[in-house]
Amino acid sequence: MTTETELQPVEVKITTPILDAIDKSLATLLRKNLNEIEEDTGRAIERGVKTDETARDAEAIVQDGRRAIKVVNEVRLQFTRPIDEGKKSLMREVENLLSPLATSNRKLDSMVMERQAEIRRAETEARREAEEAQRQADAEARAEEERRRKISLTKGGTGEVKPVVAEKIEQPISMAGLRSTTKVKSIVDKDKIDEAVEGGVREIPGVRIYQIWMFEVTDHTKVPEEYRKLSR
């Protein structure tokens, strides 16, 4: 079923007026129609041009053919020039119609791209800060462990001390595609891990559990959801 909003295909056909105009023009100039000129050309090809007479006849027919082609094209232009002008006019009208939308669409697209660039810059900076914080936490943990080792040695001990576990700095999540600017991410819940270790759990993916029943998060991405909590 066809609705009012559906566009119908445009059919272009050679109409009787242009055919009549072509025949009339050829008859006026050459006293022949297009079919007759085509038949003369075909017969001349069959006869060939091996004699002076057939060569002269062929040359005359060639000239008639050239004039016929010129006439037909001139008649065609009388019909197609207005169509071409109408096409150009229609294209200009459509271009003017779409110009405000196209301009606004480009502007909005530019704004979206700039926003995405801002997010990428912010994420890069956040990752850099997180990595720097992790390096600092690791250095502090090593320094504290060394301090404890020295104290042990000073007191006559072996220097063997409990490992100092550095705080794991969570990498920021991507903001691309989020409706809210609040960063909500799943982080390791060390309290839950403590409870699990105290309850007898000895294996947790991403967690190293020491015999002294301390733990170190070695890969926060592998820690199961039951040992996580929401954080901003």
The answer to the question of residue 83 being in a domain is yes
pLDDT band at 182 (very low <50, low <70, confident <90, very high): very low
The answer to the question of residue 42 being in a domain is yes
Given this model, what pLDDT does residue 169 score?
A: 73
* 75, 18 contact by CB (below 8 A): yes
Percent of the chain's residues with pLDDT above 90: 21
Given this model, what pLDDT does residue 2 score?
A: 47
Top mean-pLDDT range of 71-80, 148-157, 191-200, 201-210: 71-80
The answer to the question of residue 205 being in a domain is no
- Is residue 118 predicted with pLDDT exceeding 60? yes
226 Cβ contact partners less than 8 Å away, ≥ 6 residues apart: 192
pLDDT band at 111 (very low <50, low <70, confident <90, very high): very high
- Determine the structural domain holding residue 68 and report its residue range: 16-105
Pairing between β-strand 215-217 and β-strand 207-209 as defined by DSSP bridges? antiparallel
Count the residues in the chain: 232
Number of domains observed in the structure of the chain: 1
pLDDT tens digits, one per residue of 31-83: 888 888 899 999 999 999 999 999 999 999 999 899 888 988 888 888 889 88
- Is residue 101 predicted with pLDDT exceeding 70? yes
The answer to the question of residue 79 being in a domain is yes
pLDDT band at 181 (very low <50, low <70, confident <90, very high): very low
3-state SS track over 54-93: HHHHHHHHHHHHHHHHHHHHHHHHHHHHHHHHHHHHHHHH
The answer to the question of residue 99 being in a domain is yes
The answer to the question of residue 137 being in a domain is no
The answer to the question of residue 129 being in a domain is no
Closest CA to 196 of 187, 205, 185: 205
Exposed e or buried b per residue across 170-181, where buried means at least 16 C-beta atoms within 10 angstroms of its C-beta: bebeebeeeeee
The answer to the question of residue 43 being in a domain is yes
